[in-house]
């Protein structure tokens, strides 16, 4: 919008800012009780576009607030470096469709190693390109982590994640919170 000077009166916002705001206001009622005993570990990929490229850490700080609220602070492990100093996963800039697959995966090896270093079971990727790239690298380099969207974990924590909405969850959470038919 700024680049082309397109006139507009609407405001552009990230859904992550809104999640954080709604949790603080109490309109989004979610907590980490579900993970108190399970202690499943999560890390997060900071998308370059909402971290380094906006020259402010406010959205990625909101992102951590939301994630800690839904998985528990003790179950969140940050990669190093992170936020505006993060490494790009290698899926951005159109790389997933640019055709240089071998180079794209070599690029992402840094990210893959960072993820493994955290020991986390799940990587939350609040960006489609990051999601596709990080999942692809898990298969390619033989990782065992799962790559999930943020909304999946929010709904899981709220106990409202439907049966069809669990494609990216691992076996540990595939049935979590679903009503047992014979119960």
Partner 1 sequence: MTDSIALDELTCELKNQVASRVPDANLDLCLTCGACTGGCPASGQYDMDPRKFLRMLLLGMDEEIVKNPWAWVCTMCGRCVTACPMKINIPKFIFNVRAAWPREKRPKGIRGSCDQHIRSGNAMGVPKEDFVFTIEDVAEEIKEEQPDFKGLNITADRPGAHMVLNQNSREPVTEPDEMSPLWKVLHLTGVDWTYPTVMWGGENYCMFLADDEGWRYIMEEFAHHIEHNIKAKVVVNTE
- Which residue ranges make up the site for partner 1 (CB under 8 A)? 1, 3-4, 6-15, 18-19, 22, 27-29, 47-48, 50, 52-53, 84-85, 87-88, 90-100, 103-104, 106-111, 126-128, 149, 151-152, 154-155, 158, 160-162, 164-165, 167
**Residue closer to partner 1, measured from CB, 99 or 142:** 99
CA 45 to chain centre: 6
Q: Is the peptide bond before 38 cis (omega within 30 degrees of 0)?
A: no
**Residue closer to partner 1, measured from CB, 29 or 180:** 29
**Residue closer to partner 1, measured from CB, 27 or 37:** 27
Name the DSSP letter for residue 35.
G
For residue 147, what is the enclosing H or E element? strand 146-148
Distance CA(64)–CA(50), nearest Å, equals 13
């Amino acid at each position: 919008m700024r680049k082309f000077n397109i006139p507009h009166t609407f405001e552009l916002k990230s859904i992550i800012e809104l999640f954080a705001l709604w949790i603080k206001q109490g309109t989004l009622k979610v907590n980490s009780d579900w993970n108190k005993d399970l202690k499943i570990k999560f890390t997060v990929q900071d998308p370059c576009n909402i971290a380094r490229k906006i020259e402010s850490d406010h959205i990625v700080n909101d992102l951590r607030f939301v994630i800690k609220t839904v998985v528990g602070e003790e179950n969140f492990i940050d990669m190093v470096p992170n936020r505006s100093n993060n490494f790009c996963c290698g899926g951005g800039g159109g790389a997933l469709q640019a055709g240089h697959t071998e180079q794209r995966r070599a690029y992402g090896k840094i990210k893959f190693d960072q993820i493994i270093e955290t020991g986390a079971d799940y990587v939350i990727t609040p960006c489609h390109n990051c999601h596709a790239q990080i999942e692809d690298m898990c298969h390619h380099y033989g990782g065992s982590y799962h790559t999930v969207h943020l909304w999946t974990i929010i709904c899981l924590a709220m106990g409202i994640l439907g049966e069809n909405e669990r494609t990216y969850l691992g076996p540990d959470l595939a049935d979590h919170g679903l009503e047992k038919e014979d119960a």
